[in-house]
Amino acid sequence: MVPKRSKPQYVSISPLMLRADSRVPFDVFLRHEGNYVLFNAAGMTLTGGQCRELAANSVNNVYIDKRSLDSYRTYLNEYITGILDDEGIPLDKRAEAWSNAAAMLGKELYEDKLPGPTFEKRYHRFEQLITSTAGFIQSPKPLKHLSGFISKGYNIYHHGISTMVYSMALMHEFGYQDFKILSCGMGALLHDIGKIGLPQDIVTKDPAELSGDEAAVLQLHPMVGARTCSCFNLSSIASNCILFHHERADGKGYPTKAGSEDIPQYVQIICLCNAYDTLTRNMPYRKALRPFEALKTIMDDDGMVEKPLLKRFVEMLSRAEIM
Ligand SMILES: [Fe+2]
């Protein structure tokens, strides 16, 4: 007996994400008088004429079965460069498309607990996405829209992606070369990977509530992360970002207690963006702070980061209208 297939649940997507002359691997529906009508069948090429028809009829939403979401994300990832370059698509939609693509690749990257051949392949796939979209991530205009999407989610990869975006944008402000921004971006993405093997009750506990022994375990994660990533070809710049992301300008951080004179500026940028994203993200033990509250917390924590660096960060967020 053929098992019954459950009823589809439709979710809306923007028709602007569908690229003319692309093969679309999922069914696309239109809504007409309360019914969902097939517009383009899975596997068929969407023609320019169909795209023009949607635009001419001012169709703002098309629909896909919720079970096709993974397939939709894969499709988005394949066409992401064209989508980001398309000035006809509103910036918030482009930022959403980028965030979806990054979240999909980040999720699959973190599914591998111990970096092996699959991890390396997935790492390079993510790196390819970042390389081809670096211009978009670093531009001041998309940052406002990106910040709305990347601030959501509890997983380590959500926090990694967000830390990466802020770090790359801030490094761009300082005029770093592209290869260094990319290396730091990948380091920022992976900075907390050492938390994966640690007891999750320690990782998700309010840091202020940790016992001395628990804090000592948690503080191992930069070293565990750097060691975990040492078995594949990660740049020394990215390794430094992982290893030193909890250091402080006043030398009271961990694991080495190096002060700002010994920490390269690019690492200090990761430290700052890591702190900012942690504070502005919902955590199991507290609600997210608003951007200005988070910045005030960092400002009041004398010695966490160098003041001129914090000032540049505040200026960047303010220009992006994030505060
Ligand atoms: Fe961390």
Cα(12)–Cα(64) distance, integer angstroms? 6
Ligand 1 center to residue 33 CA distance, Å? Answer: 51
Ligand 1 center to residue 56 CA distance, Å? Answer: 50
| Confidence band for 29, pLDDT divided at 50, 70 and 90 | very high
pLDDT, mean of residues 6-18: 87
pLDDT digits (tens, 9 = 90+) for 254-280: 999 999 999 999 999 999 999 999 999
Report pLDDT for 91. 92
Ligand 1 center to residue 60 CA distance, Å? Answer: 41
Ligand 1 center to residue 154 CA distance, Å? Answer: 14
pLDDT, mean of residues 16-39: 93
Ligand 1 center to residue 169 CA distance, Å? Answer: 20
pLDDT greater than 70 at residue 1: no
Report pLDDT for 112. 65
- Which residue is it, tokens 């960092």? 298
Query: How much is the mean pLDDT over the chain?
Result: 91
Ligand 1 center to residue 150 CA distance, Å? Answer: 17
Ligand 1 center to residue 92 CA distance, Å? Answer: 29
Report pLDDT for 312. 97
Ligand 1 center to residue 129 CA distance, Å? Answer: 24
Report pLDDT for 2. 59
Q: Following DSSP, what letter does each residue of 251-317 receive, concatenated? A: S-SSSS---TTTS-HHHHHHHHHHHHHHHTS-BTTBPPPPHHHHHHHHHHSTTSS-HHHHHHHHHHH
pLDDT, mean of residues 57-81: 89
Neighbour tally for 186: CB within 10 Å: 25
Ligand 1 center to residue 274 CA distance, Å? Answer: 7
Ligand 1 center to residue 83 CA distance, Å? Answer: 33
pLDDT, mean of residues 309-321: 95
Q: Following DSSP, what letter does each residue of 206-269 receive, concatenated? A: -GGG--HHHHHHHTTHHHHHHHHHTTTT--HHHHHHHHTTT--TTS-SSSS---TTTS-HHHHH
Report pLDDT for 284. 87
Report pLDDT for 114. 62
What CATH number does domain 79-319 carry, 1.10.1060.10, 3.30.70.270, 1.10.3210.10, 1.10.3720.10? 1.10.3210.10
pLDDT digits (tens, 9 = 90+) for 97-137: 899 889 888 988 887 666 677 888 888 889 989 999 999 99
The answer to whether the CB of 316 falls within 8 A of the CB of 169 is yes
Please state the domain extents for the chain. 1-68, 79-319
Ligand 1 center to residue 222 CA distance, Å? Answer: 7
pLDDT digits (tens, 9 = 90+) for 202-251: 999 999 999 999 999 999 999 999 998 888 788 999 999 999 999 999 99
Cα(122)–Cα(126) distance, integer angstroms? 6
| Confidence band for 176, pLDDT divided at 50, 70 and 90 | very high
Report pLDDT for 150. 92
Report pLDDT for 213. 96
